[in-house]
Amino acid sequence: MMPAVNPGTYNPDEDVHKITDYRCVSRDMQHSSIKERLYLHLDMNCFYAQVEQQCFKLHGLPIYIGGWYKGDQRTPRGIVATSSYEARALGIKTAMSAYEAEQICPYIIGLQADYEKYKGISVLIEDVLEEFAPTVEKYSMDEYFLDVNFLKNKSRQEIEQYGADLRNLIYREIGLVCSIGISYSKTYSKLASDINKPDGLTLILDKEEARKLLWPMPLNEVWGIGRKRYAKLKDNGLETIADGIDRGYPIFQKLFGQYFGKIIWEMIAGKDRAKVLTGQHITKEQLSYNHTFSTRTGDIVQVRGEIMKGITRLSYRMRAYGIQAQKYFCFIGIQHKDHKGLGFRFNTNGYTNLDDYIHYECMRKARPRIKALLDRDFTLRRMSIGTVKVDHSGQQEMFFAEDAQMRNFYLAQDAINNRHGNGTITKASIMDSVPGKTHFLERS
C-alpha cells in the first residue's frame, strides 16, 4: 500500500467570512446531564468596522466595510459586509449595496476588508479570554462562548462583576468594545448579548428575567430558524419565543421532524444543554462555498472555472475536517429581476473529498443546464456548491475506492498550500474563471 503524504496543518476557515454552523443542535454537542449550567456569550460589536476605526483614527465617523470601486467614475460596487454604529444610525445595513450606502450618506467612508488584520486581532482576543475562563469556544472571528459554571452558585452581583471585568479587560488590552450576555442556556446567553449593544452587559439568570427580556423576541432570532422556517412558523400562528414556549414542542416536531423539531423547541425554551466546544470538539455537518462574480458572464468556460474554484475550496475544507460526502448540491444564479437561477443535486460514486471525483459528476449535470440558461440569453452572476450530507467515519466502502495515487497528489498539494499559502498550487482551469478578484482587499 502506498504510504500517505503528510499534508501538514490545515487552515480550513481562511477567507470564510462567518461560521454559520449550529453548534448546539446536535445531541453529541450537548451535555447528557440536566443539571443547571451557566454560559457567557461575548460579541465584538461591529468588529471589522471597530478595528478599522481604531487603525485609521476614525472614531465617531460613519464607515462601511466591503465593496470596491469600479472604473474611472469611482462607482461603488459590491455589498456592505458590516458598518459602524454611526453608519447604521443613518440607515446603512449589512448586505446593502455599496452604491446604495453611498447614496444614503455621500460622506460615508468605504474601506476594504482586511481579513489578515481581523484574524490577528481575533487571536489577541482569544488569548485574553483563555486567561479568563477554562473553556472558550471561538464561534466565529468576533463571537465567543465561555463556560462559566464556576459562577453558578455566586451572587448576581458577583456574576455581574465578572462580566464587567471581562468587558473592561478586552477594552484595556485590545482597545475594542464588546457586549456580553450571561444566562443558564447557551442559546439564551447569545440572545442576551444582543439586548444592550454596543458595550452592554445583560444577565438572564432565571425564568422571570427570560420572560421579560427574551420571550417577546421574534423566533427568527433563535439559532436554526431562518427565513423559510420562520415563515412556516408564522403560518401556524407562531411569531415570538413566548408563542413557541406556550404551544410546546409537538408543533415543532410536526413542522420540522421528531428529532430536529424537539431540539429547536428546547433552544427556544432555554432548555438546551449545549457544550462550550473547543476546536477539537467541533463537528462539521455541512460545508458550502458561495461566490458572486465580479461581473456577470455569458461564457460557459468562465463558469466552469468558477465551479472548479468552488470545488477546490470545498474539497480542501473537507480534507481539513476529515470528512467526506457522496451527495452534493450546486446552484447557478442569474442576472434577472424575476428569476434567481437553477439548482441541482448530484452524487459521486462513493464518499470522497477529492476534487476530480466531485468535479466530474458536477459538470456532467451542470453543462446542459448552463447551456440552457445561456441559450435563453441569461447572464450568470453567482454560484454555490456544497455538501448535502457528510460522513465522519472514514470507513472503506465495498464498491468504491479512491485512487491512492490521486489522494496522495492532493495531500501533497495541500502540504505545499498549507506551508506557503492557499493557492500556491491550484488547478489550471481556475484561471478561466470570471475576471476580477474575490478578496475585497485585492479589488482596490
User: Over the stretch 206-263, which tens digit does the pLDDT of each residue have?
Assistant: 999 999 999 999 999 998 888 889 999 999 999 999 999 999 999 999 998 888 899 8
d(CA 222, CA 418): 36
On the CB side of 372, how many CA atoms lie within 13 Å of its CA? Answer: 9
Q: How many Cα neighbours within 13 Å face the side chain of 242? A: 10
* Residue 438: band (very low, low, confident or very high) from pLDDT cuts 50, 70, 90: very low
CB-CB contact of 333 with 310 (8 Å)? no
Q: pTM for the whole thing?
A: 0.70
| pLDDT of 140 higher than 50 | yes
Q: Report whether the peptide linkage leading into residue 198 is cis, meaning its omega lies within 30 degrees of zero.
A: yes
Active site residues per annotation: 143
DSSP letter for 37, please: -
**294 pLDDT more than 80:** no
DSSP state of 436: S
Which helix (H) or strand (E) segment holds residue 393: the answer is: none
Grid coordinates of 113: 476588508
User: What backbone torsions phi and psi does residue 176 show, to the nearest 5 degrees?
Assistant: -120, 150
Q: Are 222 and 241 in contact (CB under 8 A)?
A: yes
CA distances from 88 to 50, 62, 145, 390, 438 (A): 13, 8, 26, 39, 25
Ramachandran class of 67: left when φ > 0, alpha when ψ lies in -120 to 50, beta otherwise:
left
Distance (Å, whole) CA 254 – CA 269 = 17
pLDDT of 22 > 60? The answer is no
Q: Return phi, psi of residue 430, to 5°.
A: -65, -25
31 touches 134 (CB < 8 A): no
Identify the structural domains of the chain with CATH numbers, from first to last: 27-44+117-268 (3.30.70.270), 47-115 (3.40.1170.60), 288-443 (3.30.1490.100)
Range name among 30-34, 89-93, 312-316, 424-428 with the lowest pLDDT average: 30-34
Q: How many CB atoms lie within 10 A of CB 319?
A: 20
- Residue 265 confidence (pLDDT): 94
Q: Distance between CA 306 and CA 192 in Å, rounded?
A: 40
- What is the spatial distance between Cα 351 and Cα 388, in angstroms, rounded to a whole number? 12
